[in-house]
Amino acid sequence: MSQIDKRRAALLLTLSLASAATESIGLILLVPILAVMTGQTALPGILSDFVARLGGKDALGTMLALFVVLIGLRGALNLARTLVSLRVQRELIDGLRLRAWRALLHCDWRVLSGMRQTGNANLLLTTLDRVGHGIERLLTAGVTIITLAGVGIAALAISPLLTAGALVGGSLVILAYRGMRRRAQRLGMALDGVYDRIHAELTEGLSALRIIKSFGAEARTEDRLRRELGALHRAERHFLRDNELGQLAMQVGNATFLAIVVWIALKYWHFDVMDMLPMIALFARGLPLLLTLQGCLQDIAYTRPAVDSAAAMITAAETAREAEADSSIVLPTVTREIALRNITVQFESRARPALDRISIDLPVRTITALTGPSGAGKSTLADVIGGLLTPDAGQLTLDGQPLDPSLRRAWRSHVTYVQQVPILFSGTVRDNLLWASPDASDDALRTALAEASADFVLRLPQGLDTKVGEHGHQFSGGERQRIILARAMLRAPDLLILDEAANALDRENDAAIARTIQALRDRCTVLVIAHGGALEDIADRTVRIVGGVID
């Protein structure tokens, strides 16, 4: 799902192979060291020639020094490998997180609006962290396999017969644990669902603290989270229990296997005790590696559902990716009208069309109020006319010319939305205004604030550099809405859409917003979605929608 730098991957493989080689050479070197220490002369041909070149019986000091150098070199290689592995892991998970975020940002609005955004937030934060843990264990498994191969080569050079027996035993052990890995994957699936519910519970609870307190629902809300945390702890406890039991069984099994091999080798194959010592050392090194490999495979199975969830979301979003905007295309300014012709929108989750063969004209530089009961299709119509949503049938036309679906993104650069819930980003007023027009000068910012009746900002001690607080809570609802209106006007839009932008405001702020919009009449076309109030009163005309059709 995510790409890795090939050179860094090659470096990681090289360091892993070099580390395994130094360990193997060091372990093989134990054979001549023990032979010289005990006065034995029966060594395999290669090792015998090696000892002879170093000075025969007088080579002990040289071989011990070489052994120390190999240990130091292996430590340095392991350090470098760990640092490279960490960087590879971070590149993979950061690349995956950015890919998921990019997929959501560029996803078609019809698909994106149907997604659970709390689920997407949980995936971007918690689920991808679990994927990161899986990647770390996968890299560790790779290094472990390479090291095991090195130990196996060293053992093969000393005793092919014992090595063959050890390979068969180790393979059987890994196969015997398949059932436990399948159980780990099922627990991982359960954990994914629990994390999703916990994230949704916390996100919704934090956004509803005022309601929770006003209803006296603190205890009930706490109990709901406690139940989900209990489910989380149970899933984690079951995994840890299985993991520890598996580790215990493998440790006992490894010890038993080693004891049996030593017994058979000494009792029936008549190995010399001194010949067995290097093999015992190799087995003592290889068995913990086998234990590590099994733990990695179990962790990988445990995190596999997180990988599947991330892949499914990214695939769904990328499949529904919008066409890239062509920067060379410049839409002409609309001079007569923006219109919808026989528009139909049918969502899969609904039996009836959200919009059913609707036609509507918005004359340039006029204010049109769109009214109707909740669920009538007003916001859907605004999404179509603003270029967010492609209709299933019908056309959006500009001055009588149909707008090709490939030009929707170009049209959106001529449209600005102001929605019911005023969203200000953390930072200063200046930051929020520049978000809409990064190159705007301070004079342009002040002009926009004045036009939106938000020039109260300029009288604050910090002026444009006033911190807005989390979600703009330093300001009242009416003040936030006027700042957002100033941000919208910085784009100099052809079409301004106010989606119930004043519904949550008191009468005074509603009137203030209406006066501001009325003053903008000569600058752009305005579509107001309203349930009465001052904004509807200033409209040049009112269009009512009921059940997806114009009433």
Q: How far is it, in rounded angstroms, from Cα 507 to Cα 134?
A: 55
- What does the pLDDT read at residue 262? 77
Cβ contacts of residue 201 below 8 Å, gap of 6+?
224, 225, 228
Number of domains observed in the structure of the chain: 2
Residue 296 pLDDT > 60: yes
The answer on 241 and 145 residing in a single domain is: yes
Q: What CATH number did the domain enclosing 27 receive? A: 1.20.1560.10
CB under 8 Å to 446, separation ≥6 — which residues?
Answer: 455, 458, 464
At residue 103, the pLDDT reads 93
Q: Cα separations (Å) of 360 from 179, 247, 340, 354, 372?
A: 63, 70, 5, 15, 15
Mean pLDDT of all residues in 386-395:
90
For residues 310 and 324, give the distance between their C-alpha atoms in angstroms, rounded to a whole number. 23
- Give dist(CA 184, CA 171) in Å, integer: 20
240 has a pLDDT exceeding 90: no
DSSP string of 322-387? PPPP-TT--PPPP-SEEEEEEEEE--TT-SS-SEEEEEEEEETT-EEEEE-STTSSHHHHHHHHTT
d(CA 485, CA 502): 11
Q: What is d(CA 404, CA 390) in angstroms, rounded to the nearest whole number?
A: 10
pLDDT greater than 90 at residue 31: no
pLDDT tens per residue across span 524-543 = 899 998 877 777 888 889 99
Q: Is the pLDDT of residue 45 over 60?
A: no
Q: Are 132 and 346 in contact (CB under 8 A)?
A: no
Q: Can you tell me the distance from the alpha carbon of 49 to that of 55, in angstroms, rounded to the nearest whole number?
A: 10
Listed residues 288, 319, 350: the one ending a domain: 319
Residue 11 exposure: Cα atoms within 13 Å on the Cβ side: 16
Does residue 155 carry a pLDDT above 60? yes
Confidence band for 57, pLDDT divided at 50, 70 and 90? low
* Predicted structure pTM score: 0.78
> Could you say which of 319, 351, 375 is where a domain stops?
319
Within this chain, do residues 374 and 474 fall inside the same structural domain, yes or no?
yes
Q: Domain for residue 30, yes or no?
A: yes
3-state SS, residue 543: strand
194 and 136 co-located in one domain: yes
**Which residue carries 């700042």 as its tokens?**
483
Q: What are residue 542's DSSP bridge partners? A: 369
My answer on whether 272 and 344 are in the same domain is no
Does the pLDDT at position 230 exceed 60?
A: yes
Instruction: Provide the pLDDT for residue 174.
Output: 77
Percent of the chain with pLDDT over 90: 13
Is the pLDDT at 1 greater than 70? The verdict is no
Q: Which of 88-92, 411-415, 520-524 has the lowest mean pLDDT?
A: 520-524
Q: Residue 29 domain-assigned?
A: yes
Angle ∠(185,104,492) on CA atoms, nearest 5? 165
Residues 370 and 300 occupy one common structural domain: no
Is residue 128 within 8 Å of 96, Cβ to Cβ?
yes
CA distances from 260 to 254, 257, 267, 282 (A): 10, 5, 10, 15
**Dihedral of alpha carbons 167, 172, 175, 180, sign:** negative
Instruction: Let me know if residue 324 belongs to a domain.
Output: no
Together in a domain, 298 and 429 = no
Query: Is 317 a residue whose pLDDT tops 90?
Result: yes
Does residue 316 carry a pLDDT above 90? yes
Q: In degrees rounded to 5, what are phi and psi of residue 168?
A: -65, -45
Asked if the model's pLDDT at residue 9 lies above 60, the reply is yes
Note the pLDDT tens digit of each residue in 346-357: 988 788 888 899
Which of 278, 293, 319 is the C-terminal boundary of a domain? 319
Q: What integer pLDDT is reported at residue 256 of this predicted model?
A: 79
Check residue 101 and give its pLDDT: 94
Interatomic CA distance for residues 30 and 59, integer angstroms: 13
Mean pLDDT of 407-429: 84
From CA 350, how far away is CA 234, in angstroms rounded? Answer: 38
pLDDT in tens, 419-471: 877 788 888 999 999 988 888 898 999 988 888 888 888 999 898 999 988 87
Report the CATH number that the domain containing residue 477 is assigned in CATH: 3.40.50.300
Asked if the model's pLDDT at residue 183 lies above 70, the reply is yes
Predicted local confidence at residue 315, as pLDDT: 93
* Strand residue runs (E) in 212-366: 337-345, 355-363
Instruction: Output the average pLDDT for the chain.
Output: 83
pLDDT band at 384 (very low <50, low <70, confident <90, very high): very high
DSSP letters, 407-458, are GHHHHHTTEEEEESS----SSBHHHHHHHH-TT--HHHHHHHHHHTT-GGGG
Which residue in this structure is represented by tokens 């203030």? 512
366 and 308 share a domain? Answer: no
Q: Is residue 331 situated within a structural domain?
A: no
- Look-up: residue for tokens 């080689």? 21
What is the per-residue pLDDT across 241-282, written as a single tens digit (0 to 9) for each? 887 887 787 778 777 777 887 787 777 777 766 666 667 777
Q: How many CB atoms lie within 10 A of CB 539?
A: 21
Q: Are residues 313 and 198 in the same domain?
A: yes
Residue 544: inside a domain, yes or no?
yes
Residue 314 falls inside a structural domain: yes
Query: Are 308 and 348 members of one domain?
Result: no
Rounded CA-CA distance 153/163 in Å is: 9
- Domain of residue 374: give its range: 337-550
Segment 204-227 mean pLDDT: 85
HEC secondary structure over 444-485: HHHHHHHHCCCHHHHHCCCHHHCECCHHHCCCCHHHHHHHHH
Contacts with 406 (C-beta within 8 Å, 6 or more apart), sequence order:
323, 326
On whether residue 481 sits in a domain, the answer given is: yes
DSSP state of 522: T
Are 326 and 410 contacting, i.e. CB atoms less than 8 angstroms apart? yes
Q: Which residue has the tokens 């499914």?
A: 312
pLDDT at residue 261, as a whole number: 76
State how far the alpha carbon of 134 is from the alpha carbons of 2, 236, 368, in Å. 14, 15, 54
| CB neighbours of residue 39 within 10 Å | 8
Query: What is the total residue count of the chain?
Result: 551
Q: Hey, which residues does 339 pair with through a beta bridge?
A: 361, 397
pLDDT at 274 (0 to 100): 60
One domain for residues 507 and 473: yes
Packing angle, helices 160-176 and 218-267, rounded to 10: 150
pLDDT tens column, 258-267: 788 778 777 7
pLDDT at residue 503, as a whole number: 61
Helix axes 60-105, 6-38, angle to 10 degrees: 160
Judge if 372 and 278 occupy the same domain. no
